[in-house]
Amino acid sequence: MIAVDTNILVYAHRRDSEWHDPAARAVKDLSESSAPWAIAWPCVYEFYAIVTHPKIYSPPSTPDEARNQLDAWIESPSLVLLAESRGFWHKRLSDLLEVARLAGPKVHDARIAALCLDGGVRELLSADRDFSRFPDLTTRNPLLRERHSK
């Protein structure tokens, strides 16, 4: 299963992004496929917060536009929304934080990585290089032609 990180979702939504076309194509290909694909719940919240933030985009997406975009992705019959399972802290996240020696804002990335690994994701589409801290999670930037595997 392939998961999609917040930045790819944002670029796919924001037509004013220089990365809109490749990001939109990547998300569309996943959402229209019968193969399962995933978005972690924290990425849903972060997407909404970013695209509606007036200090990030001028003009920002309206709340209705952001909700409609999320609704469209969530309606994809092959989408799996990744959430913490019982025991998530002990089973996955605590170990990732320890191995990667993370604290502060990087904990968010560890949470996404842990949700992906816990949910059986084999690859995360992201433009964020920080995921290279998690050697068990393969990442690929669909905005580039090369593949980053760690």
Amino acid residing at 118: D
Write out the chain's pLDDT in tens, 150 residues.
Answer: 999 999 999 999 999 999 999 999 999 999 999 999 999 999 999 999 999 999 999 999 999 999 999 999 999 999 999 999 888 888 888 888 888 888 888 889 999 999 999 999 999 999 998 888 888 899 999 998 644 444
Is pTM beyond 0.75 here? yes
Q: Candidates 3.40.640.10, 3.40.50.1010, 3.40.630.30, 3.90.700.10; correct CATH number of 2-140?
A: 3.40.50.1010
Two tokens, residue 118 = 């816990």
Which residues lie below 8 Å from residue 123, measured CB to CB, with a gap of 6+? 2, 3, 138, 139, 140
Give phi and psi for 117, each to the nearest 5: -65, -40
Cβ contact 3:42 at 8 Å:
no
Domain extents for the chain? 2-140
